Amino acid sequence: MKALVYHGTGKKRWEEKALPQLLESTDAIVRIVKTTICGTDLHILKGDVPTVEEGRILGHEGIGIVEAVGGAVRNVEVGDKVIISCITVCGSCNSCKRQLYSHCEDGGWILGHKIDGTQAEKVRIPHADSSLHRLPEGIDEEAALMLSDILPTGFEIGVINGKVQPGDTIALIGAGPVGLAALLTSQFYSPAHIIMIDVDDNRLHMAQQFGANTIINPTRQNVVEEIQKLTKGMGVDVAIECVGIPATFKICQDIITAGGHIANVGVHGKSVELHLDELWIKNITITTGLVNTNSTPMLLKSIQSNKISPEKLVTHRYPLSEIETAYEIFGNAAQEKALKIVLTAE
């Protein structure tokens, strides 16, 4: 089969690889129907994730058809269409018993990281019973693909951790795919005012279409002043950080109101300054995390009942065999006006 293989920093190739085999009785083999590229894949290619070995097939998002299952698999059958969760869940270790699936002792984020991933014609999925979600008839495949990673990530680590409440004023910093996923899912809780902050006007424009009431571009506007004006000097109830750099984390600390929540979603490559000297007296809560994907079944129902339409995040489409071109487009996301790129197997 063909797969996108990592060959060390800056190097990847669409090349021939051996077909995956069932290794454990709890495994499934899934034929990929659609997959996509994540910002994390770009981090890997930059060399930011040294736990990824050369020769690894990248990718942790996808939907596909189950082609084979091990003898112990009960929840999915050959022929089922499934969502592949970016988090592999054994369902029985200490972390899984606490629903902390991202820290599953025999799983967590391993796809396209510690084991071969989904940017391939076929993939082996360990612990198939809890790591695959059967896709009901009639659900848009592109919408479902957003459930592998970005939608649960924006929802769980941004919206739920940030404790968005009806009537809140919330600020989202970063209008990339995950920031926009947080924007879409924050609206389950009817915040009164949603502010989106980003340096990319095209993404800000999309955020407006997705429900942002106010957009702020820090290259032209003073974010703190604008938010002070909007909130009559109070600040926002929830600040959701979806970039992962010191400057954006500082914005969150500067705009949060007393009793507010700062939910960090962005992946930070270096340390940030934490102004506890100012925050302690304001009763601020700061949360962090890696997605657990325990919201995936609920999000699937929300798509089914047309409450959210995450397929709107898809901007580009290519055949799977043109994945190298898709990486180039995704790597120049601002110029190309790219959010999520869907790759479909021929």
Q: Can you give the binding site for Zn ion, defined by CB under 5 A?
A: 38, 40, 90, 93, 96, 104, 149
- DSSP secondary structure letter of residue 57: B
Nearest to 6 by CA among 121, 113, 83: 113
Question: Is the CB of 227 or the CB of 290 nearer to Zn ion?
Answer: 290
Q: How far is the CB of 180 from Zn ion (least distance, A)?
A: 14
Please state, in angstroms and rounded to a whole number, the distance separating the CA atoms of residues 79 and 45.
34
Strand partners, 31: 65, 122
Please state, in angstroms and rounded to a whole number, the distance separating the CA atoms of residues 199 and 195.
13
Q: How far is the CB of 3 from Zn ion (least distance, A)?
A: 17
Question: Is the CB of 96 or the CB of 145 nearer to Zn ion?
Answer: 96
* Contact status, residue 30 vs residue 78, Cβ threshold 8 Å: no
Please state, in angstroms and rounded to a whole number, the distance separating the CA atoms of residues 344 and 341.
10
Question: Is the CB of 86 or the CB of 227 nearer to Zn ion?
Answer: 86
Q: How far is the CB of 265 from Zn ion (least distance, A)?
A: 11
Q: How far is the CB of 254 from Zn ion (least distance, A)?
A: 28
Question: Is the CB of 186 or the CB of 293 nearer to Zn ion?
Answer: 293
Q: How far is the CB of 43 from Zn ion (least distance, A)?
A: 9
Residue 56 to residues 89, 118, 173, 206, 328, Cα–Cα distance (Å): 20, 11, 32, 34, 19
Q: Residue 31: is it exposed, middle or buried by C-beta count within 10 angstroms (0-12/13-18/19+)?
A: middle
Nearest to 10 by CA among 60, 45, 57: 45
Q: How far is the CB of 92 from Zn ion (least distance, A)?
A: 6
Instruction: Give, in degrees to the nearest 5, the angle at Cα 240 between 338 and 180.
Output: 25
